Structure 1
Amino acid sequence: MNRDELAEFLRVRRARVTPPEVGLPSGDRRRTPGLRRQEVAQLAGMSIDYYIRLEQGRGPHPSRQVLNALARALILNQDERTHLFHLGGQPLDPPRIRDDVPGSLLHLISFLEEVPAYVLDARYDIRAWNPLASAIMGDLSAQPPDALNVIRWVFMSPDIAEHLGDEEKGRFARASVADLRAAAGRYPEDRALQELVAEMIALSPEFAELWARHEVQIRREQRKSIIHPVVGVIDTICQVMPVPDRDDLRLVLYTTEPGSRSHQALRELRQLTLSS
């Protein structure tokens, strides 16, 4: 159980729920943003003293019933609810991030010759990729190990705006941090993930600001426009697919609308990789 993270998560989420959302009057003299502690306790069916201790990081280990009640009171979505349970020390099994990539997954991405594909772990380290993924993202095989981390790339690369554009980069940065926040809840004992978060908070004010929001959302399908220096803008559908029996790994695919200009650009890029 991570008492400090649980306490901060409860405070942040409470401040974002408005009284009308839970059927309470807003009132003219309300000074508290969001709900009051007493209101959350009442909605969750617990004593105000118990809830205050949870928000102060000194409460007892909450049961699954208590966490369920808090998730309902704070109107958490599924990703946020799962994160709450991890912070409360109630995951079904203690997961861990492993260092291997299944051979079957390596074979799969090698067969996807017309689709950029790579394997991403929960720390956002790129663990494996096919030639087209390297072509669209910039010669991954020539990068040092630290540069193969997508979080570092998004927040620390000096030419990231040239690859994604400012607006696209902002959306991707926010989604990535919300996803990394969920991973930190799933793997609270992973030292490398903790060190990555600490490093980024120290080096990137943008990351630190996004991290402080406590937004939680698992990345799934997302549209992304990639600016390639040779073939131009490629509008892709970025599909993030969980790997069966490996919660710490995901398969990322960049697909395009069939027959579109982006589809043609991707085919052109593949021809360039074959001829190089």
Structure 2
Amino acid sequence: MNISFDNVHKFGKILFETQLFKHYHFPDMLNYYSENFVAFKQMPSIHEFESTSSYLREFHKKNGQNHLMFILPENKSLNHEFQKYLNLNEYDYSYNELYFIQPEDFPKFTKNPDIVVENVKSETMDTFLQLQFNIDLKFGVDFAKGKQAIYKTNFNNKNWKQVIAYYKGIPAGTLDLIISDTTVEIDNFVVLEHFQRRGIGTHMQKYVMEQFPNHVVILVAEGEGTARKMYIKQNYKCVGYQYEILKIMDDF
């Protein structure tokens, strides 16, 4: 099967579409930058980017949103002229990479009995929510509070599984699984910093492979992040990249 960024889940729904772009909007959480954005269908010229930026600025201004976010077409890079324009206009830009693996290709290892990985259940939901709140606080209290409602909704979604890992009985990591007929997407994958380098992340991924042996497992990693090296070592394959452009507005 062909794996692309089209397989990656989006909370935002298409609000408006032109020949150049799709505007995704997620009214349930307006400060969720990566779910309120414009995705270009083809590489824009600088003039087209400026025009689209003006459109999104006005829309977000009406909704009290203080950001502009754009996603470029898959496997398209920024040329020097475009980078210079973004730098001069105080936009940040980075890229993500899309990885996939067949579950049988995940490396074998000896499991550590101190590490327990399981699906979140009704009786562990409060633990999961508190763990997620603490993780999300790095993006601000309002963001962390907003995500709580999303986690509660996802818990009742049959195509969604929430996973929690414990180290010696202490909550240590979490991830979400978004399930389709052919793929399982690992999202929101976090191991708390003081529990890292103990194999917890590996145990969590192995749990996914065992639960979904007949699906292709996919995930998105920061293109300049350190996690991508781990995924390559674990036999994931990179199938593409995608640039994101972001600007936070102090005053609209």
Q: TM-score, normalised by structure 2?
A: 0.23
Where relative contact order (Cα < 8 A, 6+ residues apart) is larger, the structure is 2
Q: TM-score, normalised by structure 1?
A: 0.21
In proportion to residue count, which structure has more helix? 1
